[in-house]
Amino acid sequence: MDRNELKAELKRLVIDGLKLEHVTADQIQDNQPIFVEGLGLDSIDALELVVLVEEKYGVAVPDEDVGKQAFQSINSLADFIAASKA
Amino acid sequence: MNRRRVVITGAGTINALGNGVAAFLEGLRSGRSGIGELTAFDSRGFRTKYAAQVNDLRAPHWIPAALRRRASRSDMLALHATREALTTASFPALPDDAGIVIGATTGGMFGGEEYFRRKFLDQARTRRSNILATPVSTTVDLLAQLLECGGPRLTVSTACSSGANALGIAADWIRTGVTPVVLCGGSDSLCRMTFSGFNALQALDPAPCRPFDRRRAGLTLGEGSAMFVFEDAEHAAARGAKPLAEFLGYGISADAHHITQPRPDGAGAELATRRALEDSGVGIEEIDYINAHGTATVLNDVIETRALHAVFGVRAAKIPVSSTKSMIGHCLGAAGALEALAGILAIRESFVPPTIGLEEADPECDLDYVTEGARSAKVRSVLSNSYGFGGNNTCIILRAID
């Protein structure tokens, strides 16, 4: 899967997985922080997204430090998945 | 010692008669039924298709999006009622040490049922966090977080007397100086568990409930919330608040008899009533209106009538007694709070709400159940009864502000 496809898929995962009404994929910028005001997501949403990503891509988020780095934005998440699968 | 007086400075509600106190008042006055066909979930296979449901229920927009997505049905009901209570109390924000106490029995059970149904029956993806609001205690937690209240916080779950007990505890916190302001009430949503449970007990009337009627065959379940701001009378006076009514006192008793049936001799109900009168310092001749527990189960209505005869003697026949459950259904953990609000409205608007659906009185139910429709009356003191499963009896007494 190329990187753009992966990023598009991640945006859909955020929206469908967290059942965000009133949010569309083009509202999520690649470098936009995922867990601040913008999308209105909190720490429980973060935890749920971590599990969704782990299940879907067979990757592991071993601790909070790795998670915080990886889940900063769609770009960093795509990097993390690509690196984990490399 | 001079006991602190407890006044009610704010009130809000949402129930099958509508969203807000004005809609509730209009419904009670016109004897309108909030009972209709259940649509929150599939009622096929149950004894009845009727419920007193709140339609088009959504989480309010004044809470953050993440919390809005996770709010349970019971949370949503409490949020709507709370907002109105704070508005009428003229509290833009509650004091930091304000307490919160809520009566509830189902909490987020409905959302939990939806989660497990989707996951295991439909094999569909569902949000794991949807079950976070399942515990009955999460409604007060959510309110405390949103309102930034650092005072005492409690969820009361004593079956159908939960709402009444929550008000009693709020009054105790104020009387004993724990905190001068308490947000209190009850909130409970319809869910499959209670519907199935009452169905299995054969306690649901296939038709809309008919309290005190000889043909009655059980209750109609409802959902809703009523929330109040209870306040130390001096605290309220100091900030220029205008109280709606006074919470005079309450009484509790336990039947110690059976998991669902009330004591046949009504002694538990009678004891709770006597204790409420004593706690309030009110004589039987002062009670102008009784909001009955009046569930329309075969046992309750006879036993409640018996207990009222025992306490009030010859005066029992002269006091109007009505079951507002005939209009808003039995809202379980919210019932005591909703019925307290009916009592406050009776006091403030000088009327007695009717019992609707009662056409053929049970010979053993021989009180004045206000069957002709709402009645104009000067109402100064109200007794409101709540008798829960397991023999949880609570009676509260409200009075007009002189």
**Residue A21 pLDDT level (bands cut at 50, 70, 90):** confident
Pair B212, B361: CB distance under 8 Å: yes
Cα dihedral sign, B251-B255-B256-B258: negative
d(CA A78, CA A58): 13
pLDDT value, residue B378: 98
For residue B181 the two structure tokens come to 């302001």
Kindly list the residues from chain A whose CB atom is less than 8 angstroms away from the CB atom of residue B67: 42
- How close, in Å, is residue B65 to chain A by CA atoms? 6
Pair B87, B10: CB distance under 8 Å: yes
List the single residue in B66, B125, B132 with the smallest CB-CB distance to A40.
B66
Q: Which amino acid is located at B353 in the chain?
A: P
d(CA B218, CA B199): 10
Strand ranges for B61-209 from DSSP E = 99-103, 153-156, 181-188
pLDDT value, residue B374: 98
15-34 in A: which are within 8 Å (CB) of B?
Answer: 16-20
- How close, in Å, is residue A82 to chain B by CA atoms? 25
pLDDT value, residue B128: 87
Residues facing B334 on adjacent strands? none
List the single residue in B64, B125, B127 with the smallest CB-CB distance to A40.
B64
List the single residue in A16, A20, A44 with the smallest CB-CB distance to B129.
A44
CA distances from B259 to B125, B198, B388, B392 (A): 38, 13, 10, 10
Q: Do B128 and A18 touch (CB under 8 A)?
A: no
At residue B294, φ and ψ (nearest 5 deg) are 40, 55
Q: Do A44 and B125 touch (CB under 8 A)?
A: no
**Integer-rounded Cα radius of gyration of chain A:** 12
Instruction: Return the closest-CA partner of residue B125 out of A41, A15, A38.
Output: A15
According to DSSP H, which parts of B239-324 are helical?
A: 267-280, 298-312
Q: What is the pTM of this model?
A: 0.94
Q: What's CA B235's distance to the chain center, in Å?
A: 26
- Annotated active-site positions of B, please? 160, 293, 330
Kindly list the residues from chain B whose CB atom is less than 8 angstroms away from the CB atom of residue A47: 129
pLDDT value, residue A37: 65
Instruction: Return the closest-CA partner of residue B104 out of B69, B67, B76.
Output: B76
d(CA B332, CA B354): 20
Task: Give the count of beta carbons closer than 10 Å to the beta carbon of residue B56.
Answer: 5
Ordered mean pLDDT values, 10 residues apiece, chain B (402 residues): 89 98 98 98 96 97 91 97 97 92 97 93 87 94 95 97 98 97 98 97 97 98 98 97 98 93 94 98 98 97 98 98 98 98 98 98 97 98 96 97 91
- How close, in Å, is residue B64 to chain A by CA atoms? 7
Q: Do B69 and A51 touch (CB under 8 A)?
A: no
Q: Which residue has the tokens 């043909």?
A: B215
Q: Which residue of chain A has the CA closest to B127?
A: A18
d(CA A45, CA A43): 5
Kindly list the residues from chain A whose CB atom is less than 8 angstroms away from the CB atom of residue B70: 44
- How close, in Å, is residue B62 to chain A by CA atoms? 13
Pair B58, B76: CB distance under 8 Å: yes
pLDDT value, residue B1: 52
pLDDT value, residue B80: 98
pLDDT at residue A57 greater than cutoff 60? yes
Kindly list the residues from chain A whose CB atom is less than 8 angstroms away from the CB atom of residue B61: none
Pair B369, B212: CB distance under 8 Å: yes
Instruction: Return the closest-CA partner of residue B334 out of B96, B80, B153.
Output: B80
Decide if A45 touches B, using CB distance below 8 A: yes
For residue B178 the two structure tokens come to 């724990």
Instruction: Return the closest-CA partner of residue B370 out of B357, B388, B384.
Output: B357
ipTM score assigned to the predicted complex: 0.78
Residues of B with CB under 8 A from a CB of A: 64-67, 69-70, 125, 127-129, 132
CA distances from B133 to A15, B167, B196, B273 (A): 21, 23, 21, 35
Cα dihedral sign, A11-A15-A16-A17: positive
pLDDT value, residue B125: 82
Residues facing B382 on adjacent strands? B289, B398
d(CA B392, CA A39): 46
Kindly list the residues from chain A whose CB atom is less than 8 angstroms away from the CB atom of residue B129: 44-45, 47-48
Q: Do B132 and A17 touch (CB under 8 A)?
A: no
Kindly list the residues from chain A whose CB atom is less than 8 angstroms away from the CB atom of residue B64: 40, 42
Residue B149 DSSP SS3: coil
Q: Which residue of chain B has the CA closest to A14?
A: B127
CA distances from A70 to A1, A78, B5 (A): 19, 8, 57
Pair B72, B110: CB distance under 8 Å: yes
d(CA B80, CA B57): 10
For residue A31 the two structure tokens come to 């470098």
pLDDT value, residue B130: 85
Q: Do A19 and B129 touch (CB under 8 A)?
A: no
DSSP assignment of B28-58: HHHT----EE--SS--TTSS--EEB--TT--
Q: Which residue has the tokens 């075969």?
A: B298
CB neighbours of B273 closer than 8 A, spacing ≥ 6? B251, B307, B308, B311, B383, B385, B395
**Residue A35 pLDDT level (bands cut at 50, 70, 90):** confident
pLDDT value, residue B92: 81
